Structure 1
Amino acid sequence: MPDEGKLFCFGCGYSARVFAARLAARGFALAGTCRSEEKASTLRGGGIEPFIFDGDKPLADPEGAFEGVTHLLISTPPGEAGDPVLAAHRDLLKRIAPQIKWAGYLSTTGVYGDRKGGWVNEETPLDPNVTRSNRRAAAESEWQALAAESALPLHIFRLAGIYGPRRNQLQGVIDGTAKRIVKEGQVFSRIHVEDIANVLEASMARPNPGAIYNVCDDEPAPAPVVVAYAAELLGRTPPPEIPFEEAGLSPMARSFYMASRRVSNARMHEELGVTLAYPSYREGLKALLATL
Protein backbone atom coordinates (compact mmCIF):
# COMPACT_ATOMS: atom_id res chain seq x y z
CA MET A 1 0.00 0.00 0.00
CA PRO A 2 1.15 3.63 -0.43
CA ASP A 3 3.31 5.10 2.31
CA GLU A 4 1.93 8.58 2.04
CA GLY A 5 -1.37 10.29 1.51
CA LYS A 6 -4.13 11.77 3.63
CA LEU A 7 -6.89 9.78 5.30
CA PHE A 8 -10.19 11.42 6.22
CA CYS A 9 -12.46 9.51 8.60
CA PHE A 10 -16.14 10.27 8.90
CA GLY A 11 -16.48 9.08 12.47
CA CYS A 12 -13.33 8.51 14.53
CA GLY A 13 -14.49 5.69 16.75
CA TYR A 14 -12.73 2.63 18.08
CA SER A 15 -11.95 0.87 14.78
CA ALA A 16 -11.25 4.04 12.80
CA ARG A 17 -8.67 5.28 15.31
CA VAL A 18 -6.76 1.98 15.25
CA PHE A 19 -6.69 2.07 11.45
CA ALA A 20 -5.67 5.74 11.42
CA ALA A 21 -2.76 5.03 13.76
CA ARG A 22 -1.54 2.36 11.33
CA LEU A 23 -1.54 4.84 8.47
CA ALA A 24 0.11 7.57 10.54
CA ALA A 25 3.01 5.18 11.12
CA ARG A 26 3.34 4.94 7.33
CA GLY A 27 3.51 8.71 6.89
CA PHE A 28 -0.12 9.51 6.21
CA ALA A 29 -1.70 12.76 7.32
CA LEU A 30 -4.95 12.26 9.25
CA ALA A 31 -8.20 14.16 9.57
CA GLY A 32 -11.65 13.18 10.75
CA THR A 33 -14.91 14.11 12.35
CA CYS A 34 -16.17 14.13 15.91
CA ARG A 35 -19.30 15.48 17.55
CA SER A 36 -17.91 18.00 20.04
CA GLU A 37 -14.97 20.25 20.90
CA GLU A 38 -14.20 18.01 23.87
CA LYS A 39 -13.73 15.03 21.57
CA ALA A 40 -11.80 17.21 19.11
CA SER A 41 -9.08 17.63 21.70
CA THR A 42 -8.80 13.82 21.99
CA LEU A 43 -8.37 13.52 18.24
CA ARG A 44 -5.67 16.18 18.20
CA GLY A 45 -3.82 14.20 20.84
CA GLY A 46 -3.88 11.23 18.48
CA GLY A 47 -2.54 13.23 15.56
CA ILE A 48 -5.91 13.56 13.81
CA GLU A 49 -6.99 17.01 12.59
CA PRO A 50 -10.55 17.33 13.94
CA PHE A 51 -13.65 18.66 12.21
CA ILE A 52 -16.96 18.93 14.04
CA PHE A 53 -19.85 17.01 12.48
CA ASP A 54 -22.85 16.21 14.65
CA GLY A 55 -24.80 14.43 11.94
CA ASP A 56 -27.11 17.38 11.27
CA LYS A 57 -25.16 20.39 10.03
CA PRO A 58 -22.56 20.02 7.26
CA LEU A 59 -18.90 20.60 8.02
CA ALA A 60 -18.17 24.27 8.57
CA ASP A 61 -15.35 24.22 6.01
CA PRO A 62 -15.89 21.16 3.84
CA GLU A 63 -13.56 22.27 1.06
CA GLY A 64 -10.77 22.82 3.58
CA ALA A 65 -11.50 19.52 5.32
CA PHE A 66 -10.97 17.57 2.10
CA GLU A 67 -7.95 19.44 0.81
CA GLY A 68 -5.31 16.86 -0.09
CA VAL A 69 -7.46 13.87 1.00
CA THR A 70 -6.56 10.70 -0.90
CA HIS A 71 -8.29 8.03 1.19
CA LEU A 72 -11.69 8.01 2.86
CA LEU A 73 -13.15 5.89 5.67
CA ILE A 74 -16.80 6.09 6.68
CA SER A 75 -17.86 4.62 10.02
CA THR A 76 -20.63 7.07 10.97
CA PRO A 77 -23.79 5.05 11.70
CA PRO A 78 -27.00 5.80 9.81
CA GLY A 79 -29.97 7.26 11.64
CA GLU A 80 -33.72 7.25 11.15
CA ALA A 81 -33.40 9.71 8.27
CA GLY A 82 -30.69 7.72 6.51
CA ASP A 83 -26.95 8.19 6.24
CA PRO A 84 -26.00 11.57 7.76
CA VAL A 85 -22.76 11.88 5.79
CA LEU A 86 -24.55 11.55 2.47
CA ALA A 87 -27.40 13.80 3.57
CA ALA A 88 -24.97 16.61 4.40
CA HIS A 89 -22.16 16.12 1.88
CA ARG A 90 -23.42 14.17 -1.14
CA ASP A 91 -22.57 16.91 -3.67
CA LEU A 92 -19.15 17.53 -2.14
CA LEU A 93 -18.34 13.81 -2.22
CA LYS A 94 -19.23 13.69 -5.90
CA ARG A 95 -16.87 16.59 -6.59
CA ILE A 96 -13.91 15.14 -4.71
CA ALA A 97 -14.40 11.55 -5.94
CA PRO A 98 -11.71 11.89 -8.65
CA GLN A 99 -9.02 12.66 -6.05
CA ILE A 100 -9.91 9.65 -3.84
CA LYS A 101 -7.78 6.54 -4.40
CA TRP A 102 -9.67 4.32 -1.96
CA ALA A 103 -12.83 4.61 0.10
CA GLY A 104 -14.09 2.18 2.72
CA TYR A 105 -17.54 1.98 4.30
CA LEU A 106 -17.80 0.08 7.59
CA SER A 107 -21.06 -1.85 7.72
CA THR A 108 -22.14 -4.86 9.78
CA THR A 109 -22.74 -8.58 9.29
CA GLY A 110 -26.12 -7.84 10.88
CA VAL A 111 -27.41 -7.08 7.37
CA TYR A 112 -27.66 -10.85 6.76
CA GLY A 113 -30.29 -11.28 9.46
CA ASP A 114 -31.11 -14.62 11.08
CA ARG A 115 -29.85 -17.75 9.30
CA LYS A 116 -30.57 -20.25 12.08
CA GLY A 117 -26.85 -20.89 12.50
CA GLY A 118 -26.25 -21.36 8.77
CA TRP A 119 -23.38 -19.91 6.77
CA VAL A 120 -23.51 -16.63 4.85
CA ASN A 121 -21.10 -15.05 2.39
CA GLU A 122 -21.03 -11.79 0.45
CA GLU A 123 -23.39 -13.19 -2.18
CA THR A 124 -26.07 -14.10 0.37
CA PRO A 125 -29.17 -11.91 -0.09
CA LEU A 126 -29.55 -9.40 2.71
CA ASP A 127 -32.30 -9.93 5.26
CA PRO A 128 -31.81 -7.50 8.16
CA ASN A 129 -34.28 -8.23 10.92
CA VAL A 130 -33.72 -5.35 13.34
CA THR A 131 -33.99 -1.62 12.77
CA ARG A 132 -30.32 -0.72 13.01
CA SER A 133 -29.29 -3.50 10.60
CA ASN A 134 -32.01 -2.42 8.18
CA ARG A 135 -30.56 1.09 8.28
CA ARG A 136 -27.09 -0.28 7.54
CA ALA A 137 -28.39 -2.20 4.53
CA ALA A 138 -30.09 0.95 3.25
CA ALA A 139 -26.92 2.98 3.83
CA GLU A 140 -24.87 0.44 1.88
CA SER A 141 -27.23 0.94 -1.06
CA GLU A 142 -26.99 4.72 -0.77
CA TRP A 143 -23.20 4.63 -0.84
CA GLN A 144 -23.18 2.19 -3.75
CA ALA A 145 -25.47 4.55 -5.68
CA LEU A 146 -23.13 7.48 -5.00
CA ALA A 147 -20.15 5.42 -6.13
CA ALA A 148 -21.95 4.52 -9.36
CA GLU A 149 -22.71 8.19 -10.02
CA SER A 150 -19.27 9.56 -9.19
CA ALA A 151 -16.78 6.68 -9.65
CA LEU A 152 -15.86 6.92 -5.96
CA PRO A 153 -13.66 3.82 -5.41
CA LEU A 154 -15.91 2.39 -2.71
CA HIS A 155 -15.33 -0.84 -0.77
CA ILE A 156 -17.83 -2.16 1.79
CA PHE A 157 -16.66 -4.02 4.88
CA ARG A 158 -19.25 -5.95 6.88
CA LEU A 159 -17.84 -6.23 10.37
CA ALA A 160 -18.66 -8.94 12.90
CA GLY A 161 -18.71 -8.24 16.65
CA ILE A 162 -15.67 -6.11 17.48
CA TYR A 163 -13.40 -6.69 20.46
CA GLY A 164 -9.94 -5.57 21.49
CA PRO A 165 -8.17 -3.57 24.20
CA ARG A 166 -10.64 -2.20 26.77
CA ARG A 167 -13.53 -3.95 24.99
CA ASN A 168 -13.41 -7.68 25.61
CA GLN A 169 -14.82 -10.50 27.68
CA LEU A 170 -11.79 -10.57 29.97
CA GLN A 171 -12.65 -7.08 31.13
CA GLY A 172 -16.27 -8.13 31.51
CA VAL A 173 -15.33 -11.05 33.75
CA ILE A 174 -13.11 -8.79 35.88
CA ASP A 175 -15.72 -6.07 36.38
CA GLY A 176 -18.61 -8.49 36.77
CA THR A 177 -20.59 -7.44 33.70
CA ALA A 178 -19.95 -10.59 31.62
CA LYS A 179 -22.90 -12.98 31.44
CA ARG A 180 -23.19 -16.45 29.97
CA ILE A 181 -26.55 -16.17 28.27
CA VAL A 182 -27.59 -19.43 26.66
CA LYS A 183 -29.84 -19.53 23.61
CA GLU A 184 -30.02 -22.87 21.85
CA GLY A 185 -28.22 -22.91 18.51
CA GLN A 186 -26.91 -19.36 18.94
CA VAL A 187 -23.51 -18.55 17.40
CA PHE A 188 -21.75 -15.26 16.78
CA SER A 189 -18.87 -14.22 14.60
CA ARG A 190 -16.36 -11.70 15.94
CA ILE A 191 -13.20 -9.82 14.93
CA HIS A 192 -10.29 -8.25 16.79
CA VAL A 193 -9.95 -4.52 16.11
CA GLU A 194 -6.33 -4.96 14.95
CA ASP A 195 -7.49 -7.47 12.35
CA ILE A 196 -10.01 -4.94 11.06
CA ALA A 197 -7.05 -2.63 10.44
CA ASN A 198 -5.20 -5.52 8.78
CA VAL A 199 -8.07 -6.04 6.35
CA LEU A 200 -8.44 -2.34 5.54
CA GLU A 201 -4.70 -2.03 4.88
CA ALA A 202 -4.81 -5.08 2.64
CA SER A 203 -7.69 -3.59 0.68
CA MET A 204 -5.79 -0.34 0.21
CA ALA A 205 -2.87 -2.34 -1.16
CA ARG A 206 -5.21 -4.26 -3.52
CA PRO A 207 -8.06 -1.86 -4.31
CA ASN A 208 -11.07 -3.37 -6.04
CA PRO A 209 -13.80 -0.72 -6.19
CA GLY A 210 -17.25 -2.19 -5.71
CA ALA A 211 -15.99 -5.11 -3.63
CA ILE A 212 -17.74 -6.22 -0.44
CA TYR A 213 -15.87 -8.13 2.27
CA ASN A 214 -17.03 -9.91 5.38
CA VAL A 215 -14.58 -9.08 8.17
CA CYS A 216 -14.64 -11.75 10.86
CA ASP A 217 -12.36 -14.38 12.33
CA ASP A 218 -12.23 -18.01 11.28
CA GLU A 219 -14.31 -19.53 14.09
CA PRO A 220 -17.88 -18.49 14.90
CA ALA A 221 -18.69 -19.52 18.46
CA PRO A 222 -21.46 -19.28 21.08
CA ALA A 223 -21.03 -16.30 23.38
CA PRO A 224 -21.14 -18.39 26.61
CA VAL A 225 -18.17 -20.42 25.39
CA VAL A 226 -16.13 -17.24 24.89
CA VAL A 227 -17.02 -15.92 28.36
CA ALA A 228 -16.06 -19.26 29.92
CA TYR A 229 -12.71 -19.19 28.14
CA ALA A 230 -12.06 -15.65 29.36
CA ALA A 231 -12.74 -16.76 32.93
CA GLU A 232 -10.42 -19.73 32.48
CA LEU A 233 -7.59 -17.47 31.32
CA LEU A 234 -8.11 -15.32 34.40
CA GLY A 235 -8.24 -18.33 36.73
CA ARG A 236 -11.76 -17.43 37.80
CA THR A 237 -15.01 -19.33 38.06
CA PRO A 238 -17.13 -18.47 35.03
CA PRO A 239 -20.42 -16.71 35.66
CA PRO A 240 -23.43 -19.04 35.79
CA GLU A 241 -25.33 -19.86 32.65
CA ILE A 242 -28.58 -17.90 32.24
CA PRO A 243 -31.33 -19.02 29.88
CA PHE A 244 -32.03 -16.34 27.29
CA GLU A 245 -35.67 -16.10 28.35
CA GLU A 246 -34.63 -15.27 31.92
CA ALA A 247 -31.80 -12.85 31.14
CA GLY A 248 -33.84 -9.65 31.41
CA LEU A 249 -32.00 -8.02 28.53
CA SER A 250 -32.69 -4.55 27.17
CA PRO A 251 -34.36 -4.38 23.73
CA MET A 252 -31.00 -3.60 22.09
CA ALA A 253 -29.22 -6.42 23.89
CA ARG A 254 -32.03 -8.82 23.02
CA SER A 255 -31.71 -7.91 19.36
CA PHE A 256 -28.16 -9.32 19.28
CA TYR A 257 -29.60 -12.72 20.17
CA MET A 258 -32.40 -12.64 17.61
CA ALA A 259 -30.10 -13.71 14.79
CA SER A 260 -27.74 -16.68 14.56
CA ARG A 261 -25.36 -17.11 11.65
CA ARG A 262 -21.88 -18.24 10.70
CA VAL A 263 -20.11 -15.70 8.53
CA SER A 264 -17.65 -16.83 5.87
CA ASN A 265 -14.47 -14.78 5.48
CA ALA A 266 -13.17 -16.76 2.48
CA ARG A 267 -13.22 -13.76 0.14
CA MET A 268 -11.22 -11.68 2.62
CA HIS A 269 -8.54 -14.39 2.74
CA GLU A 270 -8.50 -15.23 -0.96
CA GLU A 271 -8.78 -11.81 -2.60
CA LEU A 272 -6.85 -9.73 -0.08
CA GLY A 273 -4.35 -12.35 1.07
CA VAL A 274 -5.11 -11.55 4.71
CA THR A 275 -3.60 -13.69 7.45
CA LEU A 276 -5.43 -12.88 10.65
CA ALA A 277 -3.35 -12.07 13.70
CA TYR A 278 -6.18 -13.51 15.82
CA PRO A 279 -7.95 -16.27 13.85
CA SER A 280 -10.21 -17.12 16.79
CA TYR A 281 -11.30 -15.69 20.14
CA ARG A 282 -8.69 -17.86 21.85
CA GLU A 283 -5.68 -16.14 20.28
CA GLY A 284 -7.33 -12.75 20.70
CA LEU A 285 -8.13 -13.15 24.38
CA LYS A 286 -4.72 -14.67 25.19
CA ALA A 287 -3.03 -11.62 23.70
CA LEU A 288 -5.36 -9.22 25.49
CA LEU A 289 -4.57 -10.84 28.83
CA ALA A 290 -1.22 -9.03 28.80
CA THR A 291 -2.94 -5.63 28.35
CA LEU A 292 -5.05 -5.78 31.51
Structure 2
Amino acid sequence: MNKTLFSFGHGYSAQALSRILAPKGWSIVGTTRDREGTAAIRASGAEPQIWPGEVPNLDGVTHLLISTAPSEEGDPVLAVLGDEIAKRAGQFIWVGYLSTTAVYGDHQGDWVDENTPPAPTAKRGRWRMLAEDQWSAIPGLPVHIFRLAGIYGPGRGPFSKLKRGGLRRIIKPGQVFSRIHVDDIAQILQASMAKPNPGSVYNVCDDEPVPPQDVIGYAAELQGLPLPPAVRFEEADLTPMARSFYNENKRVRNDRIKDELGVDLIYPNYRVGLEALRKGH
Protein backbone atom coordinates (compact mmCIF):
# COMPACT_ATOMS: atom_id res chain seq x y z
CA MET A 1 0.00 0.00 0.00
CA ASN A 2 1.23 3.47 -0.86
CA LYS A 3 1.85 5.54 2.25
CA THR A 4 1.54 9.30 2.11
CA LEU A 5 2.28 11.62 5.01
CA PHE A 6 1.00 15.20 5.07
CA SER A 7 2.91 17.14 7.71
CA PHE A 8 1.60 20.51 8.89
CA GLY A 9 4.47 22.61 10.24
CA HIS A 10 7.28 20.48 8.83
CA GLY A 11 10.05 21.69 11.12
CA TYR A 12 12.89 20.20 13.14
CA SER A 13 11.15 17.09 14.51
CA ALA A 14 9.04 16.38 11.43
CA GLN A 15 12.09 16.63 9.18
CA ALA A 16 13.89 14.06 11.32
CA LEU A 17 10.95 11.70 10.79
CA SER A 18 10.84 12.26 7.04
CA ARG A 19 14.55 11.44 6.77
CA ILE A 20 13.60 7.98 8.05
CA LEU A 21 10.44 7.52 6.00
CA ALA A 22 11.48 8.94 2.62
CA PRO A 23 14.12 6.25 1.89
CA LYS A 24 11.42 3.63 2.60
CA GLY A 25 9.26 4.87 -0.26
CA TRP A 26 6.92 7.20 1.59
CA SER A 27 5.45 10.20 -0.19
CA ILE A 28 5.71 13.19 2.13
CA VAL A 29 4.39 16.74 1.87
CA GLY A 30 5.50 19.23 4.50
CA THR A 31 4.25 22.75 5.02
CA THR A 32 6.22 25.88 5.82
CA ARG A 33 5.09 29.46 6.30
CA ASP A 34 7.62 30.94 3.87
CA ARG A 35 9.89 29.98 1.01
CA GLU A 36 12.98 30.20 3.21
CA GLY A 37 11.95 26.90 4.79
CA THR A 38 11.51 24.96 1.55
CA ALA A 39 15.16 23.94 1.12
CA ALA A 40 15.33 22.17 4.48
CA ILE A 41 12.07 20.38 3.77
CA ARG A 42 13.34 19.12 0.41
CA ALA A 43 16.59 18.02 2.05
CA SER A 44 14.56 15.88 4.45
CA GLY A 45 12.94 14.02 1.55
CA ALA A 46 9.61 15.86 1.58
CA GLU A 47 7.86 18.07 -0.95
CA PRO A 48 7.40 21.58 0.48
CA GLN A 49 4.15 23.49 0.38
CA ILE A 50 3.60 27.05 1.52
CA TRP A 51 0.80 27.11 4.11
CA PRO A 52 -1.13 29.18 4.93
CA GLY A 53 -1.27 29.99 1.25
CA GLU A 54 -1.57 27.04 -1.09
CA VAL A 55 -4.65 24.88 -0.48
CA PRO A 56 -3.56 21.50 0.94
CA ASN A 57 -4.63 18.51 -1.17
CA LEU A 58 -5.44 15.65 1.19
CA ASP A 59 -6.46 13.20 -1.53
CA GLY A 60 -4.65 9.91 -1.00
CA VAL A 61 -3.11 11.01 2.29
CA THR A 62 -2.89 8.09 4.72
CA HIS A 63 -1.08 9.75 7.63
CA LEU A 64 -1.24 13.24 9.15
CA LEU A 65 1.35 14.88 11.41
CA ILE A 66 0.62 18.19 13.11
CA SER A 67 3.45 20.27 14.57
CA THR A 68 1.96 23.73 14.14
CA ALA A 69 1.94 26.01 17.18
CA PRO A 70 -1.53 26.71 18.63
CA SER A 71 -2.95 30.02 19.75
CA GLU A 72 -5.53 30.94 22.36
CA GLU A 73 -8.15 29.81 19.82
CA GLY A 74 -6.52 26.40 19.54
CA ASP A 75 -5.03 24.61 16.56
CA PRO A 76 -4.59 26.65 13.34
CA VAL A 77 -4.94 23.60 11.06
CA LEU A 78 -8.38 22.79 12.44
CA ALA A 79 -9.40 26.44 12.27
CA VAL A 80 -9.03 26.29 8.49
CA LEU A 81 -9.40 22.61 7.59
CA GLY A 82 -11.32 21.13 10.50
CA ASP A 83 -14.48 20.38 8.53
CA GLU A 84 -12.60 18.71 5.67
CA ILE A 85 -10.45 16.62 8.03
CA ALA A 86 -13.57 15.53 9.92
CA LYS A 87 -15.23 14.46 6.65
CA ARG A 88 -12.14 12.46 5.73
CA ALA A 89 -11.67 10.90 9.20
CA GLY A 90 -12.04 7.36 7.87
CA GLN A 91 -9.39 7.96 5.20
CA PHE A 92 -6.49 8.27 7.64
CA ILE A 93 -4.63 5.33 9.16
CA TRP A 94 -2.79 7.47 11.71
CA VAL A 95 -2.87 11.07 12.88
CA GLY A 96 -0.14 12.38 15.17
CA TYR A 97 -0.33 15.59 17.18
CA LEU A 98 2.90 16.93 18.69
CA SER A 99 2.08 18.49 22.05
CA THR A 100 4.22 19.26 25.10
CA THR A 101 4.77 17.99 28.64
CA ALA A 102 3.85 21.54 29.72
CA VAL A 103 0.22 20.35 29.75
CA TYR A 104 0.96 18.66 33.10
CA GLY A 105 1.83 21.94 34.78
CA ASP A 106 3.88 22.09 37.98
CA HIS A 107 4.29 19.00 40.20
CA GLN A 108 7.09 20.31 42.45
CA GLY A 109 9.55 17.73 41.14
CA ASP A 110 7.23 14.72 41.46
CA TRP A 111 6.80 12.13 38.71
CA VAL A 112 4.01 12.36 36.12
CA ASP A 113 2.85 9.87 33.52
CA GLU A 114 0.17 9.75 30.83
CA ASN A 115 -2.51 9.05 33.45
CA THR A 116 -1.69 12.25 35.36
CA PRO A 117 -4.54 14.74 34.83
CA PRO A 118 -3.31 17.73 32.80
CA ALA A 119 -3.16 20.95 34.79
CA PRO A 120 -1.30 23.47 32.63
CA THR A 121 -0.26 26.72 34.25
CA ALA A 122 1.78 28.38 31.47
CA LYS A 123 0.12 29.85 28.41
CA ARG A 124 1.92 27.45 26.06
CA GLY A 125 0.60 24.48 28.06
CA ARG A 126 -2.99 25.76 28.12
CA TRP A 127 -2.98 26.36 24.37
CA ARG A 128 -1.55 22.90 23.67
CA MET A 129 -4.15 21.31 25.92
CA LEU A 130 -6.90 23.08 24.01
CA ALA A 131 -5.46 21.86 20.69
CA GLU A 132 -5.16 18.30 22.04
CA ASP A 133 -8.83 18.38 23.00
CA GLN A 134 -9.85 19.77 19.62
CA TRP A 135 -8.10 17.03 17.69
CA SER A 136 -9.31 14.30 20.04
CA ALA A 137 -12.92 15.45 19.71
CA ILE A 138 -13.19 14.65 15.97
CA PRO A 139 -15.27 11.46 15.66
CA GLY A 140 -13.50 8.54 13.99
CA LEU A 141 -10.17 10.33 13.60
CA PRO A 142 -7.27 8.04 14.66
CA VAL A 143 -5.49 10.65 16.78
CA HIS A 144 -2.30 9.92 18.73
CA ILE A 145 -1.00 12.58 21.13
CA PHE A 146 2.75 12.96 21.73
CA ARG A 147 3.77 15.13 24.69
CA LEU A 148 7.33 16.20 23.99
CA ALA A 149 9.90 17.26 26.55
CA GLY A 150 12.67 19.76 25.72
CA ILE A 151 14.07 18.96 22.28
CA TYR A 152 17.77 18.88 21.42
CA GLY A 153 19.89 17.43 18.63
CA PRO A 154 22.16 18.52 15.76
CA GLY A 155 22.13 22.31 15.58
CA ARG A 156 20.13 22.52 18.81
CA GLY A 157 22.25 22.07 21.86
CA PRO A 158 24.53 23.87 24.29
CA PHE A 159 27.77 23.55 22.29
CA SER A 160 27.34 26.52 19.97
CA LYS A 161 26.15 28.67 22.87
CA LEU A 162 29.19 27.68 24.92
CA LYS A 163 31.53 28.65 22.09
CA ARG A 164 29.86 32.03 21.71
CA GLY A 165 30.16 32.67 25.43
CA GLY A 166 27.68 34.29 27.75
CA LEU A 167 25.96 31.02 28.70
CA ARG A 168 25.12 30.76 32.40
CA ARG A 169 24.07 27.95 34.71
CA ILE A 170 20.76 29.03 36.23
CA ILE A 171 20.51 27.49 39.69
CA LYS A 172 17.10 26.83 41.20
CA PRO A 173 17.36 24.19 43.97
CA GLY A 174 15.33 21.08 43.21
CA GLN A 175 14.56 22.11 39.61
CA VAL A 176 14.72 19.39 36.97
CA PHE A 177 13.79 19.18 33.30
CA SER A 178 13.13 16.27 30.99
CA ARG A 179 14.49 16.30 27.45
CA ILE A 180 14.51 14.22 24.27
CA HIS A 181 16.85 13.90 21.30
CA VAL A 182 15.22 14.63 17.94
CA ASP A 183 16.27 11.23 16.55
CA ASP A 184 14.35 9.54 19.36
CA ILE A 185 11.28 11.64 18.56
CA ALA A 186 11.50 10.37 14.99
CA GLN A 187 11.81 6.73 15.98
CA ILE A 188 8.93 7.01 18.47
CA LEU A 189 6.65 8.50 15.82
CA GLN A 190 7.67 5.78 13.35
CA ALA A 191 6.99 3.07 15.94
CA SER A 192 3.51 4.49 16.56
CA MET A 193 2.80 4.63 12.81
CA ALA A 194 3.73 0.96 12.57
CA LYS A 195 1.41 0.11 15.47
CA PRO A 196 -1.50 2.56 15.51
CA ASN A 197 -3.55 2.79 18.68
CA PRO A 198 -6.03 5.66 18.23
CA GLY A 199 -6.66 7.68 21.34
CA SER A 200 -3.26 6.96 22.83
CA VAL A 201 -1.16 9.56 24.61
CA TYR A 202 2.62 9.16 24.82
CA ASN A 203 5.20 11.04 26.86
CA VAL A 204 8.25 11.60 24.66
CA CYS A 205 11.30 12.06 26.88
CA ASP A 206 14.47 10.26 27.90
CA ASP A 207 15.09 8.28 31.07
CA GLU A 208 16.75 10.90 33.22
CA PRO A 209 15.23 14.25 34.25
CA VAL A 210 18.09 16.40 35.59
CA PRO A 211 18.87 19.95 36.69
CA PRO A 212 19.62 22.16 33.68
CA GLN A 213 22.98 23.23 35.07
CA ASP A 214 24.17 19.60 34.94
CA VAL A 215 23.63 19.52 31.19
CA ILE A 216 25.51 22.76 30.60
CA GLY A 217 28.33 21.68 32.90
CA TYR A 218 28.75 18.34 31.12
CA ALA A 219 28.75 20.04 27.71
CA ALA A 220 31.51 22.39 28.88
CA GLU A 221 33.50 19.43 30.21
CA LEU A 222 33.21 17.59 26.87
CA GLN A 223 34.55 20.62 25.03
CA GLY A 224 37.29 21.37 27.54
CA LEU A 225 35.79 24.77 28.26
CA PRO A 226 35.53 26.54 31.61
CA LEU A 227 32.42 25.90 33.63
CA PRO A 228 29.96 28.74 32.89
CA PRO A 229 29.19 30.96 35.87
CA ALA A 230 26.35 30.02 38.19
CA VAL A 231 23.51 32.50 38.68
CA ARG A 232 20.71 32.14 41.20
CA PHE A 233 17.30 31.88 39.54
CA GLU A 234 16.02 34.84 41.52
CA GLU A 235 18.84 37.02 40.19
CA ALA A 236 18.77 35.81 36.57
CA ASP A 237 17.56 38.21 33.90
CA LEU A 238 15.28 35.81 32.00
CA THR A 239 12.66 36.38 29.34
CA PRO A 240 9.07 35.72 30.42
CA MET A 241 9.10 32.54 28.30
CA ALA A 242 12.32 31.24 29.89
CA ARG A 243 11.07 32.08 33.37
CA SER A 244 7.84 30.18 32.72
CA PHE A 245 9.84 27.00 32.13
CA TYR A 246 11.41 27.31 35.58
CA ASN A 247 8.00 27.83 37.15
CA GLU A 248 7.12 24.23 36.34
CA ASN A 249 9.05 21.36 37.91
CA LYS A 250 8.29 17.70 37.20
CA ARG A 251 9.84 14.37 36.32
CA VAL A 252 8.21 12.75 33.30
CA ARG A 253 7.90 8.98 32.95
CA ASN A 254 8.37 7.35 29.54
CA ASP A 255 7.38 3.73 30.25
CA ARG A 256 4.56 3.69 27.71
CA ILE A 257 6.76 4.29 24.65
CA LYS A 258 8.82 1.29 25.72
CA ASP A 259 6.07 -1.06 26.89
CA GLU A 260 3.54 -0.34 24.14
CA LEU A 261 5.70 0.69 21.19
CA GLY A 262 8.81 -1.33 21.97
CA VAL A 263 11.06 1.71 21.70
CA ASP A 264 14.70 1.37 22.73
CA LEU A 265 15.96 4.92 23.13
CA ILE A 266 19.03 5.80 21.09
CA TYR A 267 19.94 8.51 23.61
CA PRO A 268 18.53 7.43 27.00
CA ASN A 269 20.14 10.34 28.85
CA TYR A 270 21.75 13.70 28.17
CA ARG A 271 25.30 12.37 28.54
CA VAL A 272 24.92 9.88 25.70
CA GLY A 273 23.18 12.50 23.59
CA LEU A 274 25.78 15.21 24.12
CA GLU A 275 28.66 12.81 23.50
CA ALA A 276 27.08 11.90 20.14
CA LEU A 277 26.55 15.56 19.24
CA ARG A 278 30.18 16.35 20.05
CA LYS A 279 31.22 13.61 17.60
CA GLY A 280 28.96 15.08 14.93
CA HIS A 281 26.14 12.56 15.18
Corresponding residue for residue 107 of structure 2: 115
Corresponding residue for residue 98 of structure 1: 90
> How far, CA to CA, are the matches of 1:143 and 1:177 in structure 2?
41
- Which ranges of structure 2 fall in alignment gaps of 5 or more residues? none
Following superposition, the deviation at residue 27 of structure 1 comes to 0.8
Aligned partner of 2:28 among 27, 30, 34: 30
User: Is structure 2 residue 77 aligned with structure 1 residue 85?
Assistant: yes
* TM-score, scaled to structure 1: 0.93
Aligned partner of 1:219 among 175, 199, 208: 208
* TM-score, scaled to structure 2: 0.96
Amino acid at match of 2:109: G
Amino acid at match of 2:15: R
Following superposition, the deviation at residue 60 of structure 1 comes to 3.5
SS in 2 for 1:157: strand
Aligned partner of 1:284 among 257, 273, 276: 273
Amino acid at match of 1:20: S
2:178, 2:206 within 8 Å by CA — same for their partners in 1? Answer: yes
Mapping of 1:128-277 within 5 angstroms? 128-146=120-138, 149=139, 151-277=140-266
Following superposition, the deviation at residue 22 of structure 1 comes to 0.8
2:18, 2:45 within 8 Å by CA — same for their partners in 1? Answer: no
Corresponding residue for residue 49 of structure 1: 47
Amino acid at match of 1:24: A
SS in 2 for 1:21: helix
Following superposition, the deviation at residue 238 of structure 1 comes to 1.2
SS in 1 for 2:108: coil
Post-superposition Cα deviations, 1:260-282, rounded to whole Å, max 9, x if no partner, equal 10000011111111100000000
Post-superposition Cα deviations, 1:199-228, rounded to whole Å, max 9, x if no partner, equal 111111111000000000000000001100
User: Is structure 2 residue 65 aligned with structure 1 residue 73?
Assistant: yes
Amino acid at match of 2:187: N
- Which ranges of structure 1 fall in alignment gaps of 5 or more residues? none
2:22, 2:46 within 8 Å by CA — same for their partners in 1? Answer: no
Corresponding residue for residue 13 of structure 1: 11
